[in-house]
Amino acid sequence: MTVGDLLSLSIYWFGLNFHWTALLVVVIPSDILTLAPEAEKGTALAGVLGWGALIAMVTMPLAGALSDLSRSAMGRRRPFMVAGGLLNAVGLFVLARSTSLGAYRASYYLVQGSNNFGGAAYSGLFADVVPDEQRGVASGWMGLMIMLATIVAGAAAGLLLERGLRTTVYGLIVLVLLLSLAYTVWQVRENPPPAAKPFDLREFLRGFWVNPREHPDFAWLFASRILILLGFYIVLDFIQFFLKDFMGFADFRARTGILSAAVMLGALPSAYAAGWLSDRLGRRAIVFVSGIVMAVSILLFLVAPSYALLLGLAAVFGVGFGAFTSVDWALAIDVLPSKDSAATQLGIWGIAATVPQVLAPTLGGPLLDVFNRQRANFGYVVILVLGAVCIMIGSSLVWRLRKAR
């Protein structure tokens, strides 16, 4: 694939990650502060994000399986991407207009379900069109788009919210999402699908199970990803509250966006470089080292005496995060049990990203509130240490993979 092909294929990653960075890091925590009592903000955030991730957990493998079966003239993947993107935009419109916590939860669940409906098919598109020898570099392009989106989304959403332009933030998220979707759908041509087989319900349902004894590499990678991302989301979900309470910043929304941008500035060089290197040197060592870098950086957050030093640590964290994000996808493709049902299996693999999104707020929210009541801001010490430990254990598990380099 040419550079232009890789850019066209990867640009929707920019839209998807602009969407989630703006929402998860800046917009939703800020909205929760206006919809829930101060003493219950952690638990309220857990209720929104945790149940939303459960919906994503069901949607991803189901949408992936349906796109594997599709034989549409438009392709197997693109119709699902378009439908999911349009419904996602509707969900964002409703979310922006929600004035109660109950309505906010319901509209967020629509956003999660629709986004993952299209996202599962998009993951399958990547597996379909990228040649084996270019997995690492394609993964690097994906990582690059994720980092760029996170820099722009975090900074833009934080600064706009600090100026009271909440509706503008939602409109910007919709615009970026739909424009990037349109470009990828327009530019990328799908490969002819394999010959259709007669539909067998038992075979269809069996496709949602990957036997860990038959495919141990897939199982170990699944467990590794759950733990690494659990540690990541435990920190991410509560970083805005950390800046407000632990660091004592009044302009915490804007500083959250700037902190996210610092993470991604560190991640930019490592994202592309790690993907390229993984095609030549192997992927396991890159994931392991990146995990240690992230874990140590998180622990140092607790002793950073100033915002300037915190930004430096965030950039170091970003170096590890960029390398992990870049190599993670290529490693998953390496250990897929079957390429013919790539979207289904990548949907199952995607559960390893949604389970942490359920567990992180479900564990972290109550832990934060309980320990903060015991001693001022001690809850932040608990959840950051927990996040670092999860990342260290998860990154160590990649050494159990046998078929991947």
What are the domain boundaries of the chain? 3-189+213-400
pLDDT for 224 equals 92
CA quadruple 131, 137, 143, 144: dihedral sign: negative
Please give the full DSSP string across 289-338, using - where no structure is assigned. HHHHHHHHHHHHHTT--SHHHHHHHHHHHHHHHHHHHHHHHHHHHHT-S-
State pTM to two decimals: 0.72
pLDDT for 180 equals 96
pLDDT for 209 equals 65
Alpha carbons 351 and 169: distance in angstroms, whole number? 28
Taking CA atoms, 344 is separated from 60, 67, 113, 306, 372, in Å, by 8, 8, 16, 46, 42
CATH number for 3-189+213-400: choose from 3.40.47.10, 3.40.190.10, 1.10.10.60, 1.20.1250.20: 1.20.1250.20
Q: Which residue has better confidence, 279 or 88?
A: 88
pLDDT for 208 equals 61
Alpha carbons 346 and 68: distance in angstroms, whole number? 11
pLDDT for 212 equals 75
Average pLDDT over residues 196-207: 60
Q: Is the pLDDT of residue 386 over 90?
A: yes
Across 258-262, 263-267, 271-275, 307-311, which has the greatest mean pLDDT? Answer: 307-311
